[in-house]
Amino acid sequence: MGKFCNCGPILRDLPFVGISLAGLQLIEKQSYNYASLGYVLVGPVVLFLPLSEKDSMLAASKIRFRGAACSLAAALLWGLVPLYVDIVHATNPYEIVAHRALWSGILLLFFMLLTGGMRMIPGVIVAKATRRGFVVSSFLLTLNWGLFVYAVQAGHAVEAALGYFIYPLIAGVLGILLLGERLDRMAWISITVVVCGVFVKMGLDGRPPIIGLCLAATFGLYGVTRKRMGIDPVTGMFVEMLVVMPLAAGYLIWMVFDGQLIFYGGGLLNILLALFAGVITVVPLLLYHAGNRDLPFTAASLLFYANPTTQLCLGVFVFGEAFTLSDGLAFSLIWLGIIVYFTSRSKLRAVPANS
């Protein structure tokens, strides 16, 4: 039997998939804590009803598809970011990071005001542990941005791509150690194949990829930190930008007093490019967090390999870089590992949003 309760406080906190204007409709909850429940709105009450096994499987399937689509889209969009860095021609990587943080925050502010999300902020930051988590995630994200921009500008785009090859491996290990995720035998085989691809790349290049390792470590820790917090992606990213925006604005003001031209040297085109930094930052990150929430962390990490693959295609076909033997062997093994993983999945199990 289901049970009745006052719907006032519940409707403010529960995400829905559509609500009938007549006030009567069976709808499915998106939170995994209630994955086996549906509920009917009947006037001022909410009747919780057990969903059939078929309905529960269908809802979980939709969630898995949505998570895979978001993770893949985020990876592809991130893979195109080197194009932006190349077009900007800014010599100061810190200015690019400052514009990304500042305009991302402003863009999210308008979004939060339009959607009424600002009322959620006090509840999100009320816990001291959550505030500490946002400070840590903001620092890791900003550091990752700076390292990536420096790598592209300094001619180490391939090493940056290698960092994003290594990232899913680190993220997968962190998911096992810190989030309690488990891998079956075929998943371990796929991870091992991917590891071999990364080590082949490192061995043939003949040097440790310091920048790549730092990129992988910072972004892996960032993803785990945010997943453990269990905060809505939009709200969480807005709070992160609130932490970083004063520093970003302060840096741009310092540039002005130091006699430097901001907005990448000035001019209408450069001003528009600076503003666009918010768009190329917000959209992929929101997609990343949505996919990270709906998929097991290891699965989302494997999909992330579309990012460095896109970067490699840009390097070869747009920037004219050479496609070496090490690149060919590494990519072959990495994609083989991804194919093994996903073809061995009879189903992907969604995990709780607040795990």
| pLDDT number for residue 95 | 93
Q: What SS3 state is found at 208?
A: coil
Encoded tokens for 319: 């920037």
Tell me the one-letter amino acid at 26: L
- Name the strand (E) or helix (H) holding 45: strand 45-50
Q: Do the Cβ atoms of 313 and 135 come closer than 8 Å?
A: no
| pLDDT number for residue 40 | 36
Q: Tokens 């945010």 sit at which residue? A: 226
Adjacent-strand bridge partners of 47: 4, 40
pLDDT 10s per residue in the chain (355 long)?
A: 444 444 444 333 333 333 333 332 333 333 333 333 333 333 333 333 344 554 455 555 666 788 888 889 998 998 999 989 888 877 788 999 999 999 999 999 998 998 888 998 998 888 899 999 999 999 999 999 999 998 888 878 878 887 887 777 777 778 788 877 777 788 788 888 888 887 887 888 777 778 888 998 898 899 889 888 888 878 998 999 999 999 999 999 999 999 988 898 888 999 999 999 999 988 888 888 788 778 876 677 778 778 888 887 887 788 777 778 887 888 788 888 878 877 776 444 443 333 3
CB atoms within 10 A of CB 27: 15
pTM value > 0.85: no
Q: What SS3 state is found at 112?
A: helix
Q: Compute CA distances 67 → 128, 202, 290, whole Å.
A: 30, 31, 6
Q: Which residues of 194-232 are buried (b: 16+ CB within 10 A; e: fewer)?
A: bebbbebbbeebeeebebbbbbbbbbbbbbbbbbebebb
| pLDDT number for residue 106 | 94
Up-side HSE of residue 133: CA atoms within 13 Å toward CB?
Answer: 18
